[in-house]
Chain A
């Protein structure tokens, strides 16, 4: 099983700042199959990034993904109020599918 570890657990920033979220895998992940999701309170997860660096339909360009192998990063260039949420990375190739434990992005 591929274990995904996200850091930090909580990130406190202000609107306008840059956010950098990390996802580390216990073994190499084909970057074609690494995704990031955003989850706001009371809502289902929303696909942001797939293939490690491709934005999903309708996702603003302030969201970007990078990385390969075991280290992946989600960057939000300039935070706006609606970006404060929980973010999960996921690998969707090998079984079992796994998610990271999440990073809570909160307003400072």
Chain B
């Protein structure tokens, strides 16, 4: 069965960086986009960007450009999201989600990771 398993909670100081992992299983990892979304406490869902694990191509949300880097390791079936220059308002749960088949028209996000809480505090 398809699963996305994320790394554990992190506590970081302002100005630091955090790297969250998302390990995929149950499907062809290189065949689907991975999206990253975050959710601040008590708030809604904010799209951060996607990565094509096959090509390494990325597309970042404007709000995060210059601070986010999405990568993948196809040998480990794992996608990564690194966010730098952390601020207190980056405190949120970060989710990965499986997007479309890279060869097809857009499809909804049918599988999500369990979320990773990143707390930014001095």
Q: Are A99 and B107 in contact (CB under 8 A)?
A: no
Q: Residue B85 at the A interface, CB < 8 A?
A: no
B59 at the binding interface (Cβ < 8 Å): yes
From B100, B106, B107, name the one whose CB has the most chain A CB atoms within 10 angstroms. Answer: B106
Shortest beta-carbon distance from B117 to chain A in Å: 11
Q: Which residue of A lies closest to B99 (CB)?
A: A92
Known: A44-B95, A44-B112, A97-B35. A33 touches B46 (CB 8 A): no
Which residue of the partner chain, among B44, B61, B110, contacts A88 with CB atoms under 8 Å? B44
- Nearest A residue to B46 via CB reads A99
From B60, which residue of chain A is reached at the shortest CB distance?
A96
Closest chain A residue, CB of each to CB of B114: A44
A101 at the interface (CB under 8 A from B): yes
Residues of chain B within 8 A of A88, CB atoms compared: 44-45
Residue pairs across A and B with CB atoms within 8 Å: the count is 53
A50 in contact with B44 (CB, 8 Å): no
Q: Is the CB of B112 within 8 A of A45?
A: yes
Task: Taking A32-B105, A33-B106, A96-B47 as given, write out 5 further A-B residue pairs in contact, using a Cβ cutoff of 8 Å, ordered by the A residue number.
Answer: A45-B45, A45-B109, A88-B44, A99-B44, A102-B45
Does B113 sit at the interface, judged by CB under 8 A? yes
A88, B109: Cα distance in complex, Å: 13
A99 to chain B, nearest CB (A): 4
B115 at the interface (CB under 8 A from A): yes
Chain B residue at smallest Cβ distance from A102? B44
Residues of A within 8 A of B62 (CB): 96
Verify A56–B110 contact, CB threshold 8 A. yes
The 8 closest A-B pairs by CB, nearest first: A50-B108, A44-B112, A35-B108, A97-B47, A99-B45, A101-B44, A102-B44, A96-B61
Complexed CA–CA distance, A45 and B4 (Å): 13
Q: Please provide the chain B residues from 40 to 87 with a CB less than 8 Å away from any CB of chain A in the complex.
A: 44-47, 50, 59, 61-62
Closest Cβ neighbor of B61 among chain A residues? A96
**CB-CB under 8 A for A92 and B109, given A44-B95, A97-B35:** yes
- List residues of A (18-76) whose CB comes within 8 Å of B's CBs: 32-33, 35, 37, 44-47, 50-51, 56-57
Given the complex, which residues of B lie within 8 Å of A7, measured CB to CB?
A: none
